[in-house]
Amino acid sequence: MIPALPEECDVLLRDGGIAHLRPLRPTDAAALHALVDRASERSTYLRFCTGGTGTAHAYMDRMTGPGYQGLALVALLRGRLAGVAECVGGGPGGRGDLGILLDDQCHGLGLGTVMLEHLAQEAAENGVKEIAADVLPENRTMLRVLADSGLPSTSTHADGMVRVLLSTGPSEELLARIEAREHEADRNSLAAVFAARSVAVIGAGRAPGGAGHRVLANLVEGGFAGAVHPVNPHAAEVCGLPALPAIGAVPGGAELAVIATPAAAVLDVARDCARHGVRGLVVLSAGFAEAGDIAAETELLRICRAAGMRLIGPNCLGIVNTATGLNASFLPRRPRAGGLGLMSQSGAVAAALVERAAAVGLGISSFASVGNKADVSGNDLLEYWEDDPATEVIALYLESFGNPRRFGRIARRVGAVKPIIVVKSGRGAAGGRAVRSHTAAAATPDAAVDALLRAAGVIREDGVRDMLDTARLLALQPLPAGGRVAIIGNSGGPQAMTADACERLGLTVPEPSPPTREALRARLRPAAAIGNPVDVTADGTAGELADAVRAALADPGFDAVLVVYTPPFGSGLAPTCEAVAAAAHGSAKTVLACVAGYDGLIGDRTPSYAFPEQAVHALARAAGYAAWRSRPADPPVEVPPVDGAAARRMVEQDLAAHPGGRWLDHAAAARLVACYGVRVTETVVAGDEEEAAAAATRLGPPVVLKATGPGLVHKSDVGGVEVGLRDAGEVRASYRKMAGRIGPAMTGALVQRVAAHGVEMIVGGVAYEAFGPLVMAGPGGVTAELLADHAFRAPPISHAEAARMLGELRCAPLLHGYRGRPAVDVEELEAHIIGVGRLMDDIPEIAELDLNPVIVTPSGAVAVDVRVRLAPAPPRPSPYRRRLR
Ligand code: ADP
Ligand code: MG
């Protein structure tokens, strides 16, 4: 076996620490011997079945010696070699032998498990199907690591040893275990930052305007329970606290360091923090990647990783945890405590969000301004907030995605327990330019962002006002069980606008039930309108309004009650709000209000919106999220018949012959997609009119003749497609005419049988650099672009997801039997979507793929035109290899 070396990476350990994984090098010999020498006699015995270290040393020399033929991986913790894992023997399709030795000091961190994960993945990619480990029965730790890994395993006992066989292939179970471990590690690493008990502010100046000074003042004023230390070699005291010359002088050390020095000093300060055991850095200083200094940012991250520190920023506003009073930010206003977990990639947006949230009565659990996101990103914060008891709703302002696919997976899981609201800016061309110059991040096309968020159940808002409107409803009120709204108020105009907005946004405004009508009639004045909306009239009192709310809440026909009150009519603002809040108190249904002109809270849990559309928007978003959350789980992605290896071979061979990539010809493209179950109609290649005529006779008329040539892309645009030719003679004549029309650009033709009449659809995909493939479906044929009716998804796409995709199309009724036409085989069309998704997911070198059209008939679906462009591409990050970016 010729080992392919795994790449180097950093991984989080169970306790939130960081290990560096890399291939074993011959120069590691001394460190391996030191590892053996540090090992206790018991560890050496358990690993090598002998008490002496001679065997162990010989073993290590074999690994670093010439001609070593295994896959071997080492782990470094704070620069020291702390573990080695190898898989030896076993060629493609075979079985390798596993060996792992860890530093005694590093047990319990999950280091062995993460090395096993990486090694198994490496082995799988080298064709090794199985890994065998021979373990002493008393080596409980190792047996547990193997059993809990998530790799399917069997064990047998022989000769006093336990032989554990692990299969290396991908599986749902393994992925779930890996994600659970990743979650635990990520949460713990951020918890160490947010729950820090001691904070140093480095670069806290005496001038009140400076960022460091403001952070210090916020920490002091925020009532932080832990220790706060200003670090400033030029001052004796700042904000009334004694200043220390350096982080090393902090008594008892600091768990968190906020760095506010000029950029030029940050790296040295970070190294100093690394030496003194700091767990997390918040770097406020600007002047890194956003200013073009990518090298400085890379070095900053490297320092943090080597020392096991998480890094927030650089170029950020800081972090807040209201549970511990930790306000390590220079936000101008102190956030109030509440249920919102808030992250912003822009400092300015962060400040505005915190300000507005406080103004409308929305409290924050924790907050992070992540700036350049060199390390900690939205993905990490989602992992942290997932089981943070104080966080009920998550709101993210994003400008870019570091690892969009990972975001999608995490968001889908977290979103099943807590709503996630995202504002992603940089949608259009101008916004995209603004965001790129701001964060130096590669943009993800907006259609892809949309597909990603939609599939993950994320609530996407266009702006931060909508974000806060939706967030406070979700944070303060129960989720609506459905979309049936009772509108209760004292003024016809605003109520009519409210009802209109409900219908526009997919909510319904049904009539109350007869008992509810009776109850309303009994309590309201005769002039009141008793229907939906319920209008208590301008003279209606606060008591009447509250009675109407109670009646609607008791009606099983409503999921939500929306009070529309126009002050100062009736009993006036304060008594009315009080009465409504009392009626809403403790209700299991969603209650919200539009008190004209008033954005804030009624009582302590009922949000009020200044305008009806705002309230309805928030309610519609909450109802949409509730529906997503309660829908039955999709069955796992069904696996269509696939010959992935053949497809991979074809692509590799073609790229070897054409290293820059190219459009495949029709025949090659058809063969490629066929590996993933995508059917292309039988097609004969003809070099001239005689061959075309012969093909027509062989296939049996009627046939289609299509011109081919290296530059011919849209054949029908140049008169290069003739449908319905009835015999060899017509084919010959048509060929001649086509050749005359097109000229030398036509070098041959394709002949196909005419497909049965059906609905023409397009199924396509594009691979984006950071995002990966995006699959598209829509009405097909030559007018596809004109109609702009498209649905997008990122693979993997399940049957259920493909069905939802088609359901989103305006042309969907065509598939289900429109105006007397028969319904077509939608499932076969879905299979094409799934197949294209899997193919593009598996092979990053497929840059573009188009099946246009796929002709869908009542008895099947077949593509009659297929185009595939190959281009060299780096491998995509594997979800089976957990690592820090
Ligand atoms: P291009 O997209 O390059 O113009 P296509 O091969 O997609 O060429 O053909 C154009 C149109 O001709 C299709 O949208 C379809 O309506 C029709 N067509 C092509 N091939 C067939 C076929 N085998 N059976 C029926 N109709 C066809
Ligand atoms: Mg076409």
Q: Is a pLDDT exceeding 90 seen at residue 170?
A: no
Exposure of 859 in the CB half-sphere (CA atoms within 13 A):
3
Confidence category of residue 638, pLDDT binned at 50, 70, 90 = low
Q: Lowest-pLDDT range, 51-60, 180-189, 377-386, 769-778?
A: 51-60
Confidence category of residue 854, pLDDT binned at 50, 70, 90 = very high
Supply the pTM of this predicted model: 0.91
Q: Which residues contact 149 (CB under 8 A, 6 or more apart)?
A: 113, 116, 117, 120, 166, 174, 177
Where in the chain are the domains? 9-169, 189-428+442-472, 480-630, 642-679+756-885, 682-754
Start-end of H helices in 360-491: 378-386, 404-415, 429-439, 446-455, 464-476
Query: Which residue has a Cα nearest atom 11 of ligand 1?
Result: 781
Confidence category of residue 400, pLDDT binned at 50, 70, 90 = confident
Q: Are 683 and 750 in contact (CB under 8 A)?
A: yes
Superfamily of domain 9-169: Gcn5-related N-acetyltransferase (GNAT) (3.40.630.30)
780 alpha carbon – ligand 1 mean position (Å): 10
Which tens digits make up the pLDDT trace of 73-108?
A: 999 999 999 999 999 987 677 889 999 999 998 889
Q: Are 558 and 589 in contact (CB under 8 A)?
A: yes
pLDDT for position 539? 95
Between the alpha carbon of residue 517 and those of residues 511, 520, 553, 582, the distances in Å are: 9, 5, 13, 22
CA 454, CA 448: separation in Å to the nearest integer? Answer: 10
CA 882, CA 560: separation in Å to the nearest integer? Answer: 43
855 alpha carbon – ligand 1 mean position (Å): 9
Query: Which residue has a Cα nearest atom 16 of ligand 1?
Result: 781
Same-fold call for 189-428+442-472 versus 480-630: yes
The amino acid sitting at 539 is D
CA 810, CA 824: separation in Å to the nearest integer? Answer: 16
**823 vs 788, more confident:** 823
pLDDT for position 439? 35
Q: Which CATH number fits domain 682-754: 3.40.50.620, 3.30.379.10, 3.30.1490.20, 3.40.50.970?
A: 3.30.1490.20
> CB within 5 A of ion ligand 2: which residues?
852, 865
Which tens digits make up the pLDDT trace of 442-498?
A: 446 888 888 899 889 999 999 999 999 999 999 999 999 999 999 999 999 999 999
Q: How high does pLDDT run on average in the chain?
A: 92
pLDDT for position 641? 64
Place of tokens 């029965």: 137
Cis check for the bond before 66: say yes or no (omega within 30 of 0). Answer: no
760 Cβ below 6 A of ligand 1: yes
Task: Extract the tokens encoding 646.
Answer: 């053949």
CATH architecture designation of domain 642-679+756-885: 2-Layer Sandwich (3.30)
Q: What is the mean pLDDT of residues 831-855?
A: 95
Q: Are 231 and 199 in contact (CB under 8 A)?
A: no
Query: Which residue has a Cα nearest atom 23 of ligand 1?
Result: 754
**Nearest to residue 273, comparing CAs of 293, 249, 294?**
249
Q: Are 382 and 324 in contact (CB under 8 A)?
A: no
854 Cβ below 6 A of ligand 1: no
Q: What is the mean pLDDT of residues 227-253?
A: 95
pLDDT for position 435? 47
741 alpha carbon – ligand 2 mean position (Å): 19
Q: What is the mean pLDDT of residues 563-576?
A: 94
The hierarchical CATH code for the domain 480-630 is: 3.40.50.261
Q: Is a pLDDT exceeding 80 seen at residue 786?
A: no
Q: Are 540 and 521 in contact (CB under 8 A)?
A: no
Nearest atom of ligand 1 to the alpha carbon of 752: 23
pLDDT for position 432? 54
pLDDT for position 787? 75
Nearest atom of ligand 1 to the alpha carbon of 852: 7
Q: For a substitution probing ligand 1, which of 704, 708, 713, 761 has the most ligand atoms within 8 Å of its CB?
A: 704
Three-class DSSP category at 768: strand
Q: What is the mean pLDDT of residues 586-602?
A: 96
Q: Is a pLDDT exceeding 80 seen at residue 250?
A: yes
723 Cβ below 6 A of ligand 1: yes
CA 865, CA 721: separation in Å to the nearest integer? Answer: 11
List, in sequence order, every residue forming a beta bridge with 72; answer none if it has no partner.
Answer: 86
Q: Is a pLDDT exceeding 60 seen at residue 437?
A: no
752 alpha carbon – ligand 2 mean position (Å): 13
pLDDT for position 714? 85
Between the alpha carbon of residue 342 and those of residues 1, 163, 396, 573, the distances in Å are: 50, 49, 6, 32
Query: Which residue has a Cα nearest atom 13 of ligand 1?
Result: 781
64 Cβ below 6 A of ligand 1: no
CA angle 522–526–529, rounded 5-degree value: 90
Q: Is a pLDDT exceeding 70 seen at residue 639?
A: no
- Conformation bin of residue 336: beta by default, left when phi > 0, alpha when psi is -120 to 50: beta
Q: What is the mean pLDDT of residues 499-526?
A: 97
Q: For a substitution probing ligand 1, which of 706, 712, 722, 868 has the most ligand atoms within 8 Å of its CB?
A: 706
Q: What is the mean pLDDT of residues 237-263?
A: 96
The beta-carbon contacts of 827-832 under 8 Å, at least 24 apart in sequence, are: 827/799, 828/856, 828/860, 828/861, 829/761, 829/763, 829/777, 829/802, 829/854, 829/856, 829/861, 830/799, 830/802, 830/803, 830/806, 831/640, 831/677, 831/678, 831/861, 832/678, 832/679, 832/763, 832/861, 832/863
Task: Extract the tokens encoding 521.
Answer: 């009639």
Superfamily of domain 189-428+442-472: Succinyl-CoA synthetase domains (3.40.50.261)
Cis check for the bond before 853: say yes or no (omega within 30 of 0). Answer: yes
Percentage above 90 pLDDT, the chain: 81
809 alpha carbon – ligand 1 mean position (Å): 22
**Nearest to residue 423, comparing CAs of 397, 441, 401?**
397
pLDDT for position 402? 81
**b (16+ CB within 10 A) / e for 270-304:** bebbbebebbbbbbbbbbbbbeebeebbebbbebb
Place of tokens 């190898």: 86
